[in-house]
Amino acid sequence: MDEDSPFLTNSSRNGATTPRSNNAHLDITSFNNQHNNGALLGDAQPRDRLRYRRTSFTPLFDRDDSGIYEDATEKYINDPIHGHVLLDADTLSCIDTPQFQRLRDLKQLGSAYYVFPGATHNRFEHSIGTSHLAGELVERFRNTQPELEISANDVKCVKLAGLCHDLGHGPFSHVFDNEFIPRALPGSNWTHEQGSEMMLEYLVDDNHVDLDREEINFIRDLIMGERRGNSQRHAFLFDIVSNKRNSLDVDKYDYLQRDCYSVGIKSSIDCSRLMKMSRVIDDQICWHHKEVYNLYELYHTRFSLFKRVYTHRVGKAIEYMLTDALLAADSVMGISQAIFHGDQYLHLTDDIIRQIERSREPGLEDSKAILKRIRTRNLYKFVDELLIPLDKLGILTKENINSAEIVSCQGPNDHLRQEDVIVEFLKNNYAMKDQNPVDGIKFFSKTNHSASYHIPKEKVSSLIPSEFQENIIRVFSRDPTKVRVVHEAFRRLMSRFYRSSDGSSNLPPSSTSPYYNSQNTTPDKANTYAASWMQQQNRQSSPTRHLGSSSGGNAKRRDRSPSPLLGRRVRTSGRLNVLGDGVMDISDSEQA
């Protein structure tokens, strides 16, 4: 190495090089930031322990230009959400393993990436961010509340729980455990948290990570968010990574900020402030009373992300296509059985669809055809959705609303099959089902930090919602050419549950359907259009189709005036009921 080089080498640290003259001592101060070299990273480490990976850059803030600062036992990385994040030796021992590096190949938002091109972030960086926040929070409690007697081992395990909490996610994240596994293994109650426990055990054993059995069990309990067995650890520690009391944890802190940043949604939540405004009272994490509205804002942000991103109708359509493709390939590739074997699950990532596309194994034709439809954007189609009123939650159930029931309401010559229709029961909420999550949070006042209490929503704002969950029925069509007939069959089915006292349908119009006609938003207008159309049909010849004769001749199709009711041809005999958005109920005429 050049004598004038300011960079240290292993040999120079070991004294193997020839000392320079007293007048030519080693000096790198000119490369340091002139304002505050130690403010960000600290000056705790001696200069002779620093090492640089390349000799072609100018060091800034004691790190290289790749955004990584290293010493012998730790690293700093520059995260777009949390800034410079310290990775200590215990954290690095888990990160630098195949089991954790697998998370680089799992998209955080799964199929939403096909709708939001910016959603390229992976489970890898989310897990590091969660570990960072977990460490920040538990260290803060340790420093500001020494009476809690939080040990260094507690801090270590909480950070590792945040790091490893998503090890068990499968391809396309929640598509795998919410959609694929229930259909591939009916009756299975497997969750990705169980997968995380399995992969944690495999990570420790396969890489000889220095964790004893008690620490492993503690980390597993922290991931599940519950104190199992005879653990004597503080109860509040189990609320840091996975909070079952009110769902307010560092996992949510990270993904809300990271997902908003990646999909381009502006958010006003400040999780760092919330962490600073918290303390432990009676073995439970509590927040300053001034943060109560900010907490409602956080839960609303979560709801908004579910409404706008996570359950986007096109993203959900692609979810169903990915699920169908994996199911079609399962018998050949044994995808579902990998959840029981860590060494197989290690290689199960989003890359599975490319493995299917590359494979020459027989029996994958159907799976490949579905994946090609995704590549060419020939997607399953959204048909309709209906918000379920509270008074009909016990009536509009999966037993009454399903693909078989919809197909039974099809019109003549619709040729609908059960496999053409997908029915989804969707729940969007504030993270605690239909309950107000803030009811599970305790607060403390500015003048008394040792007592906690609840704050009712009536004392926060009159605009806080009274309901905290919406229930929606959605319908999709696997065949894009059958969207209209699926839509009409669904509306006919739903009209059975929306009848007024005189027997007419009071089914609300479907403003979300692509076949919604804004002219038919009221029953009066819809009936006017229906009557006008029927008069036109009665003045013309019979509306029966003549597409050909039995002798093989080609009969000309009779002219028709276009229907204002979305162009559906229905029989005009019997009684025609209009179902609120211009769909004709033909059930009476068909039974006549």
CA distance 289 to 446: 8
469-477 β-sheet, strand order: 381-387, 469-477, 421-429
Contact between residue 75 and residue 92 where contact means Cβ atoms under 8 Å apart: yes
**Which amino acid type is present at position 566?**
L
Q: Taking phi first (over 0 means left), then psi (-120 to 50 degrees means alpha), and beta for anything else, what does residue 168 get?
A: alpha
Q: Alpha helix (H) ranges present in 441-545?
A: 483-495, 523-539
Q: Which one of the listed residues 121, 192, 234, 288 is annotated catalytic?
A: 192
CA distance 250 to 347: 28
Q: How far lies 269's CA from each of 257, 297, 439, 523, in Å?
A: 8, 7, 19, 44
CA distance 140 to 143: 5
Q: DSSP string covering 212-278, please? A: -HHHHHHHHHHHHTS--TT--S-GGGGGSSS-TTTS-SHHHHHHHHHHHHHHT------HHHHHHTE
CA distance 577 to 584: 6
- Extract the tokens encoding 247: 């769902």
Residue 341 a catalytic site member: no
3-state class percentages of the chain: helix first, strand second, coil last, to nearest 5: 45, 10, 45
**DSSP conformational letter for 398:** T
Residue length, the chain? 592
Contact between residue 129 and residue 250 where contact means Cβ atoms under 8 Å apart: no
Cβ neighbors of 189 (< 8 A, separation 6 or more) are: none
The position carrying tokens 């840091």 is 240
Contact between residue 323 and residue 183 where contact means Cβ atoms under 8 Å apart: yes
Q: Which residues of 161-177 are buried (b: 16+ CB within 10 A; e: fewer)?
A: bbbbbbbbbbbbbbbbb
Q: Name the residue among 241, 216, 93, 256 with its Cα closest to residue 166.
A: 241
**Which amino acid type is present at position 95?**
I
- Residues annotated as catalytic are 192
